């Protein structure tokens, strides 16, 4: 089978999250749920959604009548430079963002249950395929999504973020399983409440996730008085899309302030943000990016890297990229003196690991001085061999270097490393590095590869070269529950299939089939709705089905869904 080239280009650490769609898993009722939601959505969204959504349904191969296959979607998406892969429910935010960076939509393979038609807290194929995919046919919005993924994947997370992510994932898995008992759901909800009542200061990832929620998921576009829907969460939620357009929801002009508005995935949103156009989304994203360590670097950036306790990258002024788990920072006032990683680290330039500086070489960590050499008349990165000789820094000879900070390096220069006419490294043998009363490097530790850079203008989450680092990300240990259906349920799903086949062929179902539907499954209202589609008007079967759908035993919610379904199908 031909693979979408966009997906083939994904780095290996992201491919570990991909699962098979297994199209055969979708039951007849799953397909009916898809049809019901899509018909209801289109009936309502045709007047309130951004025009790009309706145009995109055709461009991305999303059918109203059946759940899309990833193969068919990819055949079409690759024509606009995108791809789609299946994953198991919520994946870590950084990984989710990174998929977007590579123009790939992640689609949860499962589909919502019949009792969560209007909204589900768990990501499902309705939300991902019918919500996200169509709108990316708009090239301006698609570029925003890609750019958001690129910036978001470099945002620093905290330990609190991951705990909250795991708690939300756990709750979504429980709620998506109809067999889950209420007691377990209550415990999972209480765990989230407990976390949220004792939050840590918001990380970069927490803030940018808020922006993602109020744009990509729940965004409105146009004027405050008459906005249109473009957010996937609204486009895929019958209940929330209607709610969003009501006067009960406050409409706020979209700005950087949206990053301070948190959200609750289990409840309708009390306010939504309206962007005047897609271009404005990029303006706000650029404003946020300007506040990130990615663009600030310095002491703030290194401290965020240390606090994250995860892989990060510091970029020195020369362009040298140091990737590893940062554990130590020495600073003097506003100036960085020394940085240190622990465990496997790599050195890169322009996101490519330098030859000889992979993680097996720096397996115990990496440290380097940062700053200006005392007496140097120009930046170290611009020093040529002739300049180094004038400073008695000569390959094969012992050197004494002193920085403005007072840090001293003594050793025999083994080699220099340059890229694009910039000095990146000075490598020393029998080297000692000391600052005040601290010994930072000793001769017996081997070669001291000193990075070149007076400053650190950028620090970001993750490694500069994931392939060069041979990065591995652990998929969540808890997986979506697979449901074992009873024989009675399997028979019910077969009836759904039989009715659907008759609808496709425009053949009226037999009286015996309708009698079986009514007698064996008198409360299966969605099957009854589906059965009505090709019933002869005025027939006894139509009367029986309509009588069943008006049964007073249905809940108020079911009665409302039935009425709406009848309106759409009429």
The answer to whether 294 touches 459, Cβ cutoff 8 Å, is yes
Mean pLDDT of 542-567: 88
pLDDT at 509: 82
Q: Parallel, antiparallel, or unpaired for β 250-253 and 271-275? A: parallel
Q: Is a pLDDT exceeding 90 seen at residue 55?
A: no
Mean pLDDT of 173-178: 85
pLDDT at 567: 86
Q: What is the pLDDT of residues 420-446, one digit of tens each?
A: 999 999 999 999 999 998 999 999 999
First to last CA, the chain: 41
CA distance 426 to 395: 9
**How much is the mean pLDDT over the chain?**
92
Q: How many CB atoms lie within 10 A of CB 205?
A: 25
Q: Is a pLDDT exceeding 80 seen at residue 80?
A: yes
Give the residue among 277, 343, 284 at the shortest CA–CA distance from 310: 343
Mean pLDDT of 437-463: 96
Which of 550 and 352 is assigned the larger pLDDT? 352
554 phi and psi, to 5 degrees? Answer: -70, 150
pLDDT at 355: 96
pLDDT at 441: 97
pLDDT at 493: 96
pLDDT at 1: 53
For 14, the enclosing helix (H) or strand (E) is helix 12-15
pLDDT at 503: 80
Reported confidence tier of residue 419, pLDDT bands at 50, 70, 90: very high
403 DSSP assignment: B
Q: Is a pLDDT exceeding 70 seen at residue 227?
A: yes
CA distance 32 to 480: 21
CA distance 323 to 341: 8
pLDDT at 478: 85
Q: Is a pLDDT exceeding 70 seen at residue 570?
A: no
Reported confidence tier of residue 471, pLDDT bands at 50, 70, 90: very high
The answer to whether 417 touches 453, Cβ cutoff 8 Å, is no
pLDDT at 332: 93
């Amino acid at each position: 089978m031909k693979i979408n080239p966009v997906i083939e280009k994904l780095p290996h650490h992201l491919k570990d999250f991909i699962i098979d769609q297994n199209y055969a898993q979708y039951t007849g009722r799953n397909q009916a749920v898809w049809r019901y939601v899509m018909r209801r959505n289109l009936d309502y969204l045709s007047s309130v959604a951004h025009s790009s959504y309706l145009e995109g349904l055709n461009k991305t191969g999303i059918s109203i009548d059946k759940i899309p296959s990833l193969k068919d979607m990819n055949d079409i998406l690759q024509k606009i430079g995108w791809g789609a892969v299946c994953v198991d429910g919520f994946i870590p935010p950084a990984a989710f963002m990174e998929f977007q960076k590579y123009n790939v939509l992640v689609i949860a393979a499962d589909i919502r249950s019949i009792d969560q038609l209007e909204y589900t807290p768990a990501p499902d194929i309705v939300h991902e395929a019918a919500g996200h995919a169509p709108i990316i046919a708009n090239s301006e919005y698609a570029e925003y999504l890609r750019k958001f993924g690129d910036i978001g994947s470099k945002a620093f997370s905290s330990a609190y973020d991951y705990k909250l992510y795991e708690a939300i994932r756990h709750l979504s898995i429980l709620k998506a399983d109809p067999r889950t008992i209420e007691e377990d759901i209550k415990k999972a909800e209480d765990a989230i409440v407990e976390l949220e009542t004792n939050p840590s200061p918001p990380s970069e990832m927490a803030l940018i996730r808020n922006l993602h929620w109020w744009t990509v998921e729940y965004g409105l576009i146009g004027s405050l008085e008459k906005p249109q829907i473009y957010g996937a969460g609204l486009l895929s939620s019958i209940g929330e899309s209607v709610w969003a357009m009501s006067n009960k929801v406050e409409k706020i002009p979209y700005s950087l302030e949206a990053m301070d508005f948190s959200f609750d995935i289990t409840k309708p949103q009390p306010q939504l943000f309206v962007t005047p156009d897609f271009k404005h989304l990029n303006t706000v994203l650029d404003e946020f990016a300007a506040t990130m360590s990615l663009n600030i670097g310095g002491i703030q950036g290194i401290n965020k890297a240390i606090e994250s306790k995860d892989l990060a990258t510091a970029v020195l002024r020369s362009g040298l990229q140091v990737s590893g788990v940062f554990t130590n920072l020495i600073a003097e006032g506003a100036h960085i003196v020394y940085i240190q990683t622990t465990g496997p680290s790599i050195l890169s330039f322009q996101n490519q690991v330098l030859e000889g500086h992979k993680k097996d070489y720096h397996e115990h960590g990496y440290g380097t001085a940062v700053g200006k050499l005392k007496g140097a008349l120009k930046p170290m990165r611009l020093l040529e061999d002739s300049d180094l000789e004038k400073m008695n820094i000569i390959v094969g000879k012992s050197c004494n270097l002193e920085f403005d900070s007072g840090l001293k390096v003594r050793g025999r220069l083994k080699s220099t490393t340059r890229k694009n006419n910039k000095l990146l490294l000075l490598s020393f043998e029998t080297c000692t590095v000391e600052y005040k009363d601290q010994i930072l490097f000793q001769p017996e530790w081997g070669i001291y590869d000193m990075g070149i850079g007076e400053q650190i203008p950028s620090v970001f989450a993750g490694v500069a070269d994931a392939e060069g680092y041979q990065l591995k990300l652990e998929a969540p240990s808890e997986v979506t529950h697979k449901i074992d259906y009873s024989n009675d349920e399997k028979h019910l799903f077969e009836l759904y299939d039989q009715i659907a086949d008759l609808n496709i062929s425009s053949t009226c179902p037999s009286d015996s089939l309708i009698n079986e539907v009514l007698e064996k499954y008198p409360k299966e209202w969605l099957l009854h709705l589906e059965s009505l589609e090709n019933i002869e008007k005025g027939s006894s079967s139509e009367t029986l089905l309509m009588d069943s759908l008006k049964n007073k035993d249905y809940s108020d919610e079911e009665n409302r869904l039935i009425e709406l379904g009848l309106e759409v199908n009429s």
